[in-house]
Structure 1
């Protein structure tokens, strides 16, 4: 079945490097992006295209080329399996790790798509804000952490909304072992101190960080 072992090894090498560059743990963004920021490399083009994403895709295509060249038969079948693996393997690896070896905040899963927020004025200067955040602790141990909010994408004329929640921090969350909880966080913010007029907003998909001492996960 194997025609060229060197090509097969190269295929596996490029395959796993492509996964490592785009591995979404412990943060929501790829692992390669975190390393690029730390080393001072640019991660996006001026048009917002990710260098990390492009690099990972190129390496994956190269791995498919070497995979095809390394086999005598079943070329198309194995390439199809590789494509399926690159899509699902990282998520399954994260899921398996969180349910077995992970501890502390690394065992916490945040379902961002199910989170939502609502901001409305209580009076002329006071903003009432409430967020609903779904968390699940996959470990057997109780986990405690603080929640902080951030803006993922902010255009020139936009005003930061979610980060206003940080005016009322700290927000401490406690999850018992194997507990799944929809955490409700609410606060009142004096907009007059921030030089803001009235404000109202609601939406889904909240960007946040969970913090435990020096440990931080950006989700």
Structure 2
């Protein structure tokens, strides 16, 4: 079954290194909203190439190559097992860390699939905005921070919201209820619209620390 122990040791070392490097990506998007991913590791984002992500994936692929070279039999099974371990191991570790030991900004998770902002035009230069932000605090202490919306060219709403921001929010300990943000937006030009946004990203900042969720 085993062809080369040195190759196996190299393979395991490389895969473990790749897993460790991938942990931060499981907690947040440090380089902005993702555009291209490999096994949930961003290769490109709206900001451009993610070189750390590219290096992580390259190390993983190199580890898989050494794994194949190290074995005589069961190569496909071993590769599938290693890929599954890489895909779910760091994620489970990140989730466990966030739900047990994380404090402050690290303890906050954001459900962008269920979060929405609804905009209603009042007149030519005024509209109301109401956002339901599903920000969960996994720690036992309240967490305060400033929130801004990540602006993308095909999302109009975040730009308007940021004109009224940043928003100072406090998420109670073990909170699972949506945080409601309401604003009446005064616009300089006739740019009002009615509609809604979802699947947007937010930026959390406190004491020099930033997370993009």
> Is 1:90 paired with 2:90?
yes
2:100 counterpart residue number? 100
Give the alignment of 1:100-139 within 5 angstroms.
100-139=100-139
* Count of residues in correspondence between the two structures: 201
1:218 counterpart residue number? 212
1:190 counterpart residue number? 186
2:29 counterpart residue number? 28
TM-score with structure 1 length normalisation? 0.78
1:168 counterpart residue number? 164
Determine the C-alpha separation between the residues in 2 that align with 1:30 and 1:13.
26
Determine the C-alpha separation between the residues in 2 that align with 1:9 and 1:30.
32
Equivalent residue for 2:193, pick from 179, 187, 199: 199
How large is the Cα RMSD of the aligned pairs?
Answer: 2.8
> Is 1:208 paired with 2:202?
yes
> Which deviates further from its counterpart, 166-175 or 133-142?
166-175
Note closer, same or farther for the CA distance 1:49–1:175 as it changes in structure 2 (3 Å cut).
Answer: closer
1:135 offset after TM fit, Å? 1.4
Over residues 96-128 of structure 1, what are the superposed CA-to-partner deviations in whole Å (9 max), with x where a residue is unaligned?
110122110101111111111112211221121
Note closer, same or farther for the CA distance 1:201–1:17 as it changes in structure 2 (3 Å cut).
Answer: farther
1:58 counterpart residue number? 58
Unaligned runs of 5+ in 1: 34-42
